A and B are shown apart, each in its own frame.
Chain A
Amino acid sequence: MLFDDVDFSALTLPAEAQALRREVRTFLAAELASGRIVPHLGHAQFDREFSRRVGARGWIGMTWPRQFGGAERSYLERFVVTEEMLAVSAPCAAHWFGDRQTGPSLLRHGSEAQKRRFLPAIARGESPFALGMSEPGNGSDLASVRTRAVKVDGGWRVSGQKVWTSWAHLAEHFFCLCRTSPEEGDRHLGLSQLIVDLHATGVTVRPIRFMSGAHHFNEVFLDEVFVPDDMVLGEVGAGWRQVTSELALERSGPERFMTTFPLLIELVRRLGGTADRRARQVVGQLTARFHALRRMSLAIAFEFTRGASQRTMRDLGTEASLVKDLGTFYERDITEAARLLVDIEPRPDAEDTFERYLAECIYTTPVGTIRGGTTQVLRTIIARKLLGAAGSA
């Protein structure tokens, strides 16, 4: 039904992936020790210089072809780099959207010129991308976008408003999902993806402050912004198909269950040898849940690896949704366990790492089960697969 044909007993990372893990761990230990990065939990932080250093190591776009700045390494190696970054909450926001979403989309749908222009720069950690999908009138219901592009000589004029656009104030470009032909009949048709320069005339970026006061979300206003024809991604009118394939990628990785993991590490440090029976049980349970999630996420990475070499990919979209659904609740479980086991008053200005992480996790707890597909949408997707059309339509 789910994970059919996946042999979990045989999933072991190859030696080269484990060797890479040691390299990444050494790199991150040095970054932390020098104070060049100071981790925060909840939302990955945006740090161009850090992304450049990661790019210089060859750890961005590492599965891509060499001609486009990639390293032609496996998805398993990419998985290892990702989980090592997450285990210390490294500030990856300046390259993660490019690495995980826009890069793979460009590879699949982009023109030669687009690939040559953007991919090597993303891989160097020098071309931060944002994603413009949500709008004031659409949250989960992505197909109801109203931002409109009108054909003009040599390109398109785009007008509308995007919202919840993380890091748009610091990124260079964003992928903008918009309507390129009037809505009639199937509303999934007539959508396109345009690559919009965030510094172009007519683009206004305004902060939406998160309830902690942090600034990563934005509103992006587009007022008759000119986008040349060569900045259309893939086919005009195929935007829906292209975007939904991005979502499948976005849902499957360890970033969907590891954003509070460093708090678990700090919890173990804080409990130390004083842990009572209940604390030991809880730490054991949290470890067990992590282990199962990681094995499922790893199974999807193995499938990407197999599929990339054999050029046939099994559809594990439902399984990816499932990992995210379980994963985001797991992130919440860590936060909840930490505050119940260590009875302190959480405060955002704490100097102690455990206490600061706890406060940061409490702020972002509601976000995990919303971004990248809400719990309810994910469960609808899973139920549809399990029940089939007859039971759920």
Chain B
Amino acid sequence: MSEDDDIRSLLVDTAQRIFRDHCSQRTVEAAKRDGWSPELWEIVQQAQLPLVSIPEEKCGAGGSVSDLAAVLRVAGRHSAPLPLAETGLLAAWMLAASGLNVPPGPLAAAFQRTEGELRLEPVADSWRLSGELKRVPWASIASRLVVLVRGGDCDRVATVDPGRCTIARGVNLAWEPRDDVRFERIALRADEVVHAGRGVTIEAFYRRGALARALLMAGALDRALERSIEHARTRVQFGRAIGRFQAIQQEIARFGAEVAAAAAAALSAAGEVERGDGELAVACAKIRVGEAAATGSAIAHQIHAAIGVTEEFALHHSTLRLQAWRSEYGSETYWGERLGQRILDAGAERLWPLLTDSA
């Protein structure tokens, strides 16, 4: 085993232990009301998990995007009610790449979608931010909000105290915070607005967001499959465990194949984002994992039957997140069209090289 493998397995073991011990069904259930779990965040932050992949000289924890990817998969597996992906893969990445130190605490991240959505004006030697961003993940619980703002000459990264914004709370299908944030002529100091650093673009932000959801979904699929296997082994009908019926076995096998394909796609994409722009791999991952989420949730519920759709049974923590995350940072439809367009523009002779040249 190489040194890198050692670090990776240590991280994964740590994440698994923390979430197993501190992210119970009650924790996830309580987060439906509170938006998240501050207690769990403290433990995860102590273990330095949120800032994996951020250089240590920028107050990060070191390691690679693939290391963080492995942690996010575990977080998804446990439905961890935390802005783990937003903090490390998005907000801290923008800050560190733009030369800023990363503050402690949970971070939210957002970008300007349309021209008129935000306005960032220079005022003497400071700035003023106005406008509104819709459905910003975790804005209501974050200690800082990191926004990628479009500018005429260049894009800028602004760090905002959410306490100074007007936040209207909203949720996704799994009751995770997705909030509308209004900036009403908020004054920002010069050191709170910087030029977006190398590689920090709206395209890259969106790809990383999609990668984050693919990784979390891969984890949620792991969990939904584990629960389904457990149920098939223990639930007795007609005098035997339902897993002994071929009809159930065939569905479990189909489910297993989807989960494997999802993990392959999501983790491969993490490697590609680490080594290059990852456009093709991320598009493939968001599409393929989304398909697996659709098939996987359906099979999981079918195997569990009625108990699986109740609030008291934890399956829905996984399956509702799968359904929510499928749509975030681009659905299969969005990425399918984008990828298809790219392939059709390149032409038939370029299809095979596109798929094989990088790896």
Residues of A bordering B, CB below 8 Å: 1-3, 7-13, 18, 21, 83, 87, 264-266, 268-269, 271-273, 275, 277, 279-285, 287-296, 298-299, 319, 322, 325-326, 376, 378-388, 390-393
Contact = CB atoms under 8 A, between A and B. Distances in A.
A2 B256 contact: yes
Given A285-B332, A295-B268, A9 B69 contact: yes
Contact of B344 (A13, A268, A295): A268
A296 B352 contact: no
Interface string B54-72: 0000000000001001100
13 contacts: A2-B260, A7-B267, A10-B66, A268-B344, A268-B348, A269-B348, A283-B339, A284-B340, A288-B336, A291-B355, A325-B257, A382-B256, A391-B232
B48 interface: no
Nearest to B64: A9
A376 B285 CA distance: 27
Interface string B1-31: 0000100100000000000000000000000
Interface stretch (B103-111, B127-135, B184-192, B238-246): B238-246
B333 interface: yes
A82 to B, nearest CB: 12
B310 interface: no
Contacts of B347: 268-269, 272
B287 A11 contact: no
B256 A322 contact: yes
B170 to A, nearest CB: 28
B339 A8 contact: no
Interface string B279-302: 011011101100100000000000
A281 B340 contact: yes
B233 to A, nearest CB: 4
A344 B348 CA distance: 20
Contacts of B200: none
A335 B271 CA distance: 31
A268 B351 contact: yes
Nearest to A298: B359
Closest 5 CB pairs of A and B: A391-B243, A9-B271, A280-B340, A284-B336, A269-B348
Contacts, number: 200
Contact of A295 (B8, B253, B265, B339): B265
Given A279-B340, A295-B268, A325-B253, A290 B355 contact: yes
B138 interface: no
B344 A283 contact: yes
B114 interface: no
Nearest to A290: B355
B249 A387 contact: yes
Contact of A284 (B253, B262, B287): B287
A87 B241 CA distance: 45
Given A8-B268, A392-B243, A392-B244, A2 B351 contact: no
Contact of A390 (B241, B254, B262, B333): B241
A382 B257 contact: yes
B270 interface: yes
B340 A283 contact: yes
B253 A378 contact: yes
A393 B243 CA distance: 9
A289 B244 CA distance: 30
A388 B232 CA distance: 11
- Report the interface size class on chain B: 35 or more
Contacts of B275: 12
A10 B226 CA distance: 25
B341 interface: yes
A357 to B, nearest CB: 12
B102 interface: no
**Centre residue among A264, A268, A293, A380 by max chain B CB count within 10 A:** A268
B123 interface: no
B274 interface: yes
Contacts of B233: 387-388, 390-391
B289 to A, nearest CB: 9
Nearest to A294: B355
Given A379-B253, A379-B254, A380-B246, 16 more contacts: A2-B259, A7-B8, A7-B66, A9-B270, A268-B347, A273-B345, A280-B341, A280-B344, A285-B287, A285-B291, A288-B339, A291-B284, A292-B261, A292-B288, A295-B264, A322-B253
Contacts of B69: 9
Nearest to B261: A292
Contacts of B96: none
Contacts of A13: 359
Interface string B316-342: 000000000000000011011111110
Contacts of A12: 271, 275, 358-359
Contacts of A277: 337
A326 B267 CA distance: 19
Nearest to A273: B344
A391 B244 contact: yes
B97 interface: no
Contacts of B265: 288, 291-292, 295
